[in-house]
Structure 1
Amino acid sequence: MEPASTTPDYRRPFITITMLFFLWGFITVMNDVLIPYLKNSFQLSYFQAGLVQFAFFGAFFFVSLLYYFISLSQGDPINRIGYKKSIIVALLVCGAGCAMFYPAAEFRQYGLFLAALFMLATGVTLLQIAANPYAAILGKPETASSRLNLAQGVNSMGTTLAPIAGGLLLYKVFAEDGQVTIDSIKMPYLIYGSMFLILAIIVWFSHLPRVANEEKLAKGLGALRFPHLRYGMVAIFMYVGGEVAIGSYLINFMMDEGIMGLAEADASIYLAYYWGGAMIGRLCGAISLSEIANQSTKYFYMAATGIAVFFLVYLVTAIRIDDGVFSMKFMTPQQIAPYFLLIALNFVAFVFGRGHAARVLGVFSLGMITLLCIAAFTGGSVAFWAALGTGLFNSIMWSNIFTLSIKDLKQYTSQGSSLLVMMIVGGAIVPLVMGAAADHYGIQLAFAVPIINYAYIAFFGFAGHKVQPMDAVA
C-alpha cells in the first residue's frame, strides 16, 4: 500500500475514476429508454419486456457471485492484476456489450438483445467491483465516504442526462421519417460503445497508482468472516431495492387521483426532482464528509451547491418542445416552495450527522422512514412532495454503506466489493414485492413497503457497521 504522503497525487487518478461513475450511470438508465422500443418492436408483454431489467440486474448477481468463488479458490483477480488493468478489461466488456446491439437489431432477435444487455451489465459489474473500492482507497480512510459521495454525484449527473440524450438520439437523430424503429437503436449503442472504448484508452494512458495489497488470502469464507460486511451486504440489498422500487412507481404514484392526478407527461417532468435530489444530496454529502475544517465554510459550500443544482433542475424541467416549438414553463414560487423546505430539512440532517458517515446514514434512514409514512398515509400535495423528497435522503446511502462495509477488510477489499455489488440484485426483487402490494392495496399504500428497508439501514448506520477485532471473527 502506498504511503499516506502520496495522497495529494491521487487527485488526477480520482478525476479519471469519476468518469467511470458518470458513464455507468448513463448507460444503466438507458434501459428505461430502451424498454418501450423493444416492447413495441417485438410486441412483447409487460413480463417479457421486464426481462430487460432481469437480464441486466441478474448479471450483477451472477458475475459478482462468480467473482467471489474465484477469489476464494484462486486468489482475488483484481488484487493480482491491479485496479488499472481490471478497469480497462471492464470497459472493453461494456463496449463489446454495446456493440452486440447492432447484430441484435440487424437480425431482430430479442434473445440477442438480452444477451447484449447481460454482456453490458457484466462489464458494469466489474467496473463497480473495481472502481468503488479504488475510489475509496485513493486518499485518507477518513474521507473515503466523501470521495464516493462525490463520485456518486457525478454518477447522478449521468442518470439525469441519459434519458435526455437517449431520447434525442432515438427521436430526432436516428429516427426514420420521424418513426422510432428497431434500427434506430443501432447507432446510439455503437456511439455508447465507442465512449467505453475511448475511456479505456484514456485509462490506459493515465497514471493510476497501484494499491493492491500483497497479503495472501486466508482459507475459509474470506471476506464473509467480517460481520460488518455481512450486515452491509443486506443494507446494500435493502437500499438498492428501496431506491429502484420507489423510482419505478413514482410516476404511477403522482398520477393517482388521491395524490395529484397528474397526466403521465407532467408526472415524468416532476420525476426530475427525485433524481435531482439525489444529485444534491450526494454532492452535499461529499462536502459534509470532506476535510474542510471550518464548519461555516463547509455549510456555505453545501448550501451553495444545493441551490445551484436545484436551479439547474428547475431550468431543465421548464423546457417544453411542442411541435418543434421551444418554450419555457416555470413553476411558481408557491408550487416549488415545498421542495425548498425538503432541501432545508436535508441540510439539517447533514448537520445532525456531524460529518460522520455512519451517523449521517442513520439520520437519513430515519428521514426516509418519515417521508414514506407521509407518502403512504396522507394524500394530496403533502404526500406528493414527501415521495419526491425521498431522492434527497436516498442520496448518500450507497456511498456510506459501501465504505463502512469494506472498512478494514485489507486484502479482502475487492472480494468484499464483489459481494456488495452482488446485492444490487435487490433492485430486481423489492420492486416485485412493492408491485404486488400495489396490485392488492393500491399504489399509495405500497409506498409503505420500503419502510422495512430503511429501518434495517438505520440499524446498520447506528450499530451494524461497527468493525469487530480480528480475533472476534477469526
Structure 2
Amino acid sequence: MISSSARAGSRRPAMARSYTTPLVILTSLFFMWGFITSLNDILIPHLRAVFTLSYVQSMLIQFCFFGAYLIMSFPAGFLVERLGYKAGIILGLSTAGTGCLLFYPAAEHVSYPFFLGALFVLASGITLLQVAANPYVAILGAPELASSRLNLTQAFNSLGTALAPFFGSALILSVAIKTSEELQKLNPSELASYGVSQASAVQAPYIALAVVFYVLAFAIAMLKLPTIAEPEAPAEVSEAHGVYRAHTNVWGYRHLVLGALGIFLYVGAEVSIGSFLVNFMGQPQIAGLREEMAARYLSLYWGGAMVGRFVGSALLSRIRPGYLLAFNAVVVGALLVIAMLASGAMAMWAVLAIGLFNSIMFPTIFTLAIDGLGKHTSEGSGILCMAIVGGAIVPLIQGFMADHIGIQLSFCVPVVCYLYIAWFGLKGHYADFAAR
C-alpha cells in the first residue's frame, strides 16, 4: 500500500497520472473476463442441442466454471504472492488462451467431457486473473479510493457481460438448431455429421478469443507496470479511527473471513436471481412473457448493473463504501420482497431494477475484505475468489425452494443473503479493527 506521506500534498496528482496507463490496461482484462463469462449463456443452449443433454447435464457447464474458482483460487493466491501481480496476470491470460484453444479439439472429437475440461482450464485462467487484478486495482493508488477504482473497472466487466450474448448469438447460434423431433428422423451417420457441424460452430469464436488473450499477455509482458509493495505492518485505513490487528496467518483476519462469506452469498444471490428471471417473468401472475421476449428484458438487468457501477464509482469517492453497500443491499432486499408479494408489472420491474443496485456490491465487499491485509493481500484475494463458488450452491437452494413453494416465494433465499451483506457493510468489515 501507499504510505500516508506518499498520499499527501502535491504528490497525489502526479501519482494519479502515473497510474492512468496501468488502470486502462487492467480495465481491458475486466472487460474480457466479463465477456467470456457471459458467453457461457450462449454455450449452454448450444451444447445442450449438440449433445441432446438434459437440463442437469447442461448445467455442468456452470458447475465447471464456478468449480474452478473453488479449486484454483487459493493456489492462485499463493502463485501471485510469489510471482507478483504482473506475472500472475500474464499467466492467467496465457492459461485462459490455452483453454480457448482446447475448444478446437473438443469440437473435432464432438466430446462433451472434452468441452468441460477446456472450460475448466479457461475458468482457471480467469480465476488467476481475478486473484491478481482485483487487489492490484485496489492498491494501485490512494487506499480511500480503492472501492471507487474497482467499481469503475468492474463497470467495463459489465459491458463485456452485456455485449457477449450479441456476438455469441451471431457467431455460435447463427446456424439453426434442429428440434428433438427433427433429430429423431436422422439416421446415425446424418446425426453424427450434424453433431460435428454444430460443434464446429464454437471453433472460430474461441480461437479468436485465444488470440486476444495471448496478445494481451504479450502486451502486458512488454509494458512496465508499477510495482506496489504490500506493507509488512498493518496499513492505515479510512473506514475507522484505528488500525487492523496484524496476524501471522491470513485466516486470522476476521473481516476477511466475513467478507468471503459476503462474496459467497452475493455471487450466489446474483446467479440465483439471474437464473430464475426468465421463468419468473413467464409466470401468468407476473407478466406471462414467452421465453424469447423475457430474455430481451435481461439486457435491462445487465445494463442497469453497468450504469450502476459507473454511478457507484463516483459516489464511492464521496460516501463511505460500507454505508453505500449496506444501503444498496437493503434496497435489493426490499425489491425482492415486493417481487414476492406483488404481481404483474410491479413485481417484474422490481426484479429487473435489482441489477442497478447489485452493481457495486462485489467490488465493494472485495475491497473492504482485503483492506489492511498487508503482505497477506494476495492470499486474501485467493480466498475471496474461491468464495465465488457460492454461484453454484445458492441457486441449488433456491431451486429446491422453488420446487416446494414456487418461484415467486423462493426469492426469500436471496433476501437472506442481502440481509447479511447489509450487516457486513454496516458492522462486519469493522470486526478486526483495534483502537489506536
TM-score (norm 1): 0.81
Which deviations, in whole Å up to 9, do the C-alpha atoms of 1:370-416 show, x marking residues without a partner? 00000011111110100101111111000110010000111011110
Conserved 8 A contact 1:174-1:187: no
Structure 2 partner of 1:287: 314
Determine the structure 2 residue equivalent to 1:409: 373
Matched, 1:32 2:69: no
RMSD, aligned α-carbons: 2.3
Rate the CA distance shift 1:116–1:212 in 2: closer, same or farther, 3 A. Answer: farther
Query: What are the superposed Cα offsets for residues 8-31 of structure 1, whole Å, 9 maximum, x if unpaired?
Result: 301110000000000000001111
Paired residue type of 1:85: A
2:219 to 175, 188, 202: 202
> How many Å apart are 1:469 and its aligned residue?
4.1
> Quick check: 1:171–1:180 contact (8 Å CA) kept in 2?
no
Q: Write the distance in 1 (CA, Å) between the matches of 2:114 and 2:94.
A: 19
The Cα shift of 1:168 comes to 1.2
Partner of 2:188: none
Report the equivalent of 2:400. 436
- 1:193 maps to which of 196, 199, 210: 210
Take 1:160 and 1:469, find their aligned partners in 2: how far apart are those partners? 39
Q: Bigger CA drift: 80-89 or 239-248?
A: 80-89
Q: CA deviation at 1:198?
A: 1.1
Give the superposition deviation at 1:169. Answer: 1.1
| Distance change >3 Å, CA 106–CA 445, structure 1 → 2 | same
Q: Is 1:213 the counterpart of 2:215 in the alignment? A: no
- Which residue number in structure 1 is paired with residue 72 of structure 2? 63
Is contact 1:79-1:212 (8 Å) kept?
A: no
Which stretch of structure 1 is more off in the superposition, 110-119 or 168-177? 168-177
The one-letter code of the counterpart of 1:230 is: V
Distance between the aligned counterparts of 2:432 and 2:419, measured in 1? Answer: 22
Letter in 2 for 1:185: V
Give the direction of change, closer, same or farther, for the CA distance of 1:469–1:452 in structure 2 (3 Å limit): closer
Alpha-carbon displacement from aligned partner over 1:220-272 (angstroms, at most 9, x marks no partner): 87211011111100000010000010011100000100100011111011111
Residue 290 of structure 2 corresponds to 263
Aligned partner (choices 420, 424, 427) of residue 388 of structure 2: 424
The 5-angstrom pairing of residues 34-183 of structure 1 reads 34-67=43-76, 71=78, 77-172=79-174, 181-183=198-200
| SS of equivalent to 2:225 | coil
Establish whether residue 463 from structure 1 lines up as the match of residue 422 from structure 2.
no
- Distance in structure 2 (CA, Å) of the matches to 1:221 and 1:422: 21
Q: Contact 2:92–2:126 at 8 Å: present in 1 too?
A: yes
Measure the CA separation in 1 of the matches of 2:216 and 2:170: 23
Could you tell me how far apart the structure 1 residues matched to 2:330 and 2:310 are? 20
Q: Shift of residue 458 of structure 1? A: 0.6
Question: Are the aligned partners of 1:214 and 1:411 in contact in 2 as well (CA < 8 Å)?
Answer: yes
Equivalent position amino acid for 1:59 in 2: A
Query: Is residue 240 of structure 1 aligned with residue 267 of structure 2?
Result: yes
Whether the 8 Å CA contact 1:90–1:126 is kept in 2: the answer is: yes
Moved more, 207-216 or 116-125: 207-216
Task: Summarize deviations over 1:302-360 as a string: whole Å, max 9, x none.
Answer: xxxxxxxxxxxxxxxxxxxxxxxxxxxxxxxxxxxxxxxxxxxxxxxxxxxx6110000
Q: C-alpha separation between the residues in 1 aligned to 2:206 and 2:408? A: 37
Classify the secondary structure of the residue corresponding to 1:261: coil
User: Percent of aligned pairs with the same residue?
Assistant: 48
Q: Which stretch of the first structure deviates more once superposed, 422-431 or 1-10?
A: 1-10
> Which of 279, 282, 285 lines up with 1:252 in the alignment?
279
Cα shift readout 1:101-129 (whole Å, capped 9, x = no counterpart): 00000011111111101100100000000
Report the Cα offset of residue 7 of structure 1: 3.5
Q: Verify the 8 A CA contact 1:37 1:180 in the aligned structure 2.
A: no
| Deviation at residue 82 of structure 1 after TM alignment | 1.7
My pick for the range that moved more, 50-59 or 5-14, is: 5-14
- Give 1:308's aligned residue: none
Task: Verify the 8 A CA contact 1:79 1:214 in the aligned structure 2.
Answer: no
* Count of paired positions: 401
Q: Within 1, Cα distance between the matches of 2:420 and 2:232?
A: 34
The amino acid that maps onto 2:216 is L
Residue 30 of structure 2 is aligned to residue 21 of structure 1: yes
The normalised TM-score by structure 2 is 0.88
Q: 1:108 to 1:453 in 2, by over 3 A?
A: same
* Post-superposition CA distance 1:163-212 (Å, at most 9, x none): 001111124499999x9711111111101111111111221122210114
The answer for the alignment partner of 1:315 in structure 2 is none
1:289 CA drift (Å) = 1.8
Q: 2:64 and 2:43 mapped to 1: Cα distance?
A: 13
Amino acid at match of 2:198: T
What is the match of residue 333 of structure 1?
none
Q: Distance in 2 between matches of 1:101 and 1:464?
A: 43
Partners of 1:433 and 1:448 in 2: how far apart? 11
The one-letter code sitting in structure 2 at the alignment partner of 1:183 is: S
1:451 aligned onto 2:415: yes
Question: For the residues of structure 1 that align with 2:108 and 2:247, how far apart are their CA atoms?
Answer: 48
SS at match of 1:260: coil
Instruction: Verify the 8 A CA contact 1:25 1:156 in the aligned structure 2.
Output: yes
Distance in 2 of aligned mates of 1:221 and 1:429: 31
Displacement of 1:46 = 1.2
- Where does residue 74 of structure 1 map in the other structure? none
Q: Is the 8 A contact 2:231 2:374 kept in 1?
A: no
Superposed CA offset, 1:122-171 (max 9, x none): 00000000000001111100110000110110000000000001111124
| Letter of the 2:120 counterpart | F
Distance 2:343 2:216 in 1: 46
Q: Given that residues 80 and 212 in structure 1 are in contact (C-alpha distance below 8 angstroms), is that contact kept between their aligned partners in structure 2?
A: no
- In the other structure, the counterpart of 2:190 is none
- Aligned counterparts of 1:200 and 1:48: Cα–Cα separation in 2: 33
Change (3 A) 1:226 1:254: same
- For 1:135 and 1:158, locate their aligned partners in 2 and report how far apart those are by CA, in whole Å: 18
What secondary structure sits across from 1:210 in the alignment? coil
